[in-house]
Amino acid sequence: MREPLRRDMFEDPDCSSQLQPFRFGDKWSGRMLRCLEDGPRRFSELRVPLHRVTPKVLTETLRAMERNGSLTRTAYDENPPRVEYGLTALGRSVLGPMDAACEWARAHLPELAEARDAYERG
């Protein structure tokens, strides 16, 4: 059994979304990839760490990622119906570059924060 997704998994101060210099796909796709890296998840499981995204936008993101081949949607013929989303090989292939981008951001976090503060001060 996989560990449940944590509600705060994207609230790490060392990996702040405001300081992320790289984005994979749209605003939520990178986070979706992280949620699915340990195996398939149901929509309700994804809502836990992605609580700031509306269900409509979450659905749109899942559909876009399915359309571009990053994930699969598997509907099980059960009562009640069950649907799971999982990464494809293509979706999984971006995890390495994401890890490298996160490591770079962690290494340069002070510089990124300083540059953004200087820009805001004018």
* Inside any domain, residue 70: yes
Question: Could you list the residue range(s) of the whole structural domain that residue 43 is in?
Answer: 23-121
* Inside any domain, residue 96: yes
* Inside any domain, residue 53: yes
* Inside any domain, residue 36: yes
CATH code at position 29: 1.10.10.10
Report pLDDT digits (tens) over 70-120: 999 999 999 988 999 999 999 999 999 988 988 888 898 889 889 989 999
* Inside any domain, residue 11: no
| Domains: count for the chain | 1
SS (H, E, C) 46-96: HHCCCCCCCHHHHHHHHHHHHHCCCEEEEEECCCCCEEEEEECHHHHHCHH
pTM over 0.85: no
* Inside any domain, residue 4: no
